[in-house]
Amino acid sequence: MSFKINIITINVILLFFMSLNIYSEWKPLKGEPFIHYYSGTTGKLAFRHVERPENTKTILFFYGFSGNIIMMTRLIANLQNEYNIIVVDYPGHGYSPQSDGFDISAFNRDVHSLLEQKGIHSVYVAGYSLGGIVALDYYQSYSESVKKIMLLHTSAYFKSSPARTLYFEGIGNALRNNFIGTINDIAIPILKDRYFTRELLKTSKKVTALNNGESVINYFDVISNSNYNSMVDSIKCPVLVVCSTKDFLVPVKESLQMVKMIKDCRVMVFRNTGHLSIVSRPIFMAALLTDFIQ
């Protein structure tokens, strides 16, 4: 009952912002020394590869809705002493140019080709939020190269009930009418936790503005309509599922439903950390991932 009330409340707030529309001309960020590019079937993709000779394990990280490589900076800083890390910007996100539509499997095919080109034949795959679907799809196609999977604040199917469908469709409609306002004035305030400082709030708003609204919305629509429940019970490698009682995008019961279907699974339930944990608590999250990988 409380979840349904929250949905109604949030949708009422969303309707207020739907009267605004602040799309603007967008261009991908200019390349930095740490940014590289790969030309695949889906277009030109920007990626960051943190590589150190002494590190033998590689984390392939798929971030979530309206994220980009810059959003990953704090978590990368706390993992790079132990692991090589690869993060690829989705089309129209951060440094990657916009392309026509978003296809999960086609994107992962390019990511896998990139890894092969770099001589990387095994990875520890992490999927955060909506990026969890991308991680599951990657495993489905390239399971032989995946050592372990880390699913953080995510679900195998986001529209798992009529109430959840209404929730995500409401968000999608608001995004189409006011992309920046919906994220900065609704999503982030609702999803942040007590560790999310004012400085992080300012930074997050800047990061959001670095993405192309049309591309982010297309990504959101594709991911939120994708159902990977049928493949979860076929996962053979160890899986870590992280969820939180303070997560208002992916409730604990959604993650635990996924846990029931995974054969070899470790679960961590946060009590006072919200959906944005990889940004608000990067040291804690890095330690958690390190413990699972080792």
pLDDT at 195 over 50: yes
pLDDT at 13 over 60: no
CB 275 within 8 A of CB 250: yes
Q: pLDDT value at position 146?
A: 99
* Two structure tokens written together for 287: 């330690």
Q: At what angle do helices 2-17 and 162-177 cross, to 10 degrees?
A: 20
Mean pLDDT, rounded, for 198-222: 90
* The model's pTM: 0.89
Mean pLDDT of the chain: 90
Q: Outline where 118-233 has alpha helix (H).
A: 131-142, 162-177, 179-182, 188-191, 198-208, 213-224, 229-232
Mean pLDDT, rounded, for 14-33: 59
Give 16's pLDDT tier (boundaries 50, 70, 90).
very low
Supply the range of the domain harboring residue 138.
2-293
pLDDT > 90 in the chain, percent: 74
Side-chain-side CA neighbours of 34 within 13 Å: the count stands at 12
- Residue with structure tokens 């050592």? 147
Q: pLDDT value at position 20?
A: 39
Q: pLDDT value at position 282?
A: 95
* Two structure tokens written together for 95: 């440094």
CATH number of the domain where residue 70 is located: 3.40.50.1820
- Count of CB atoms within 10 A of residue 94's CB? 24
Mean pLDDT, rounded, for 195-217: 89
Q: Which helix (H) or strand (E) segment is 84 a member of?
A: strand 84-88
Total structural domains within the chain = 1
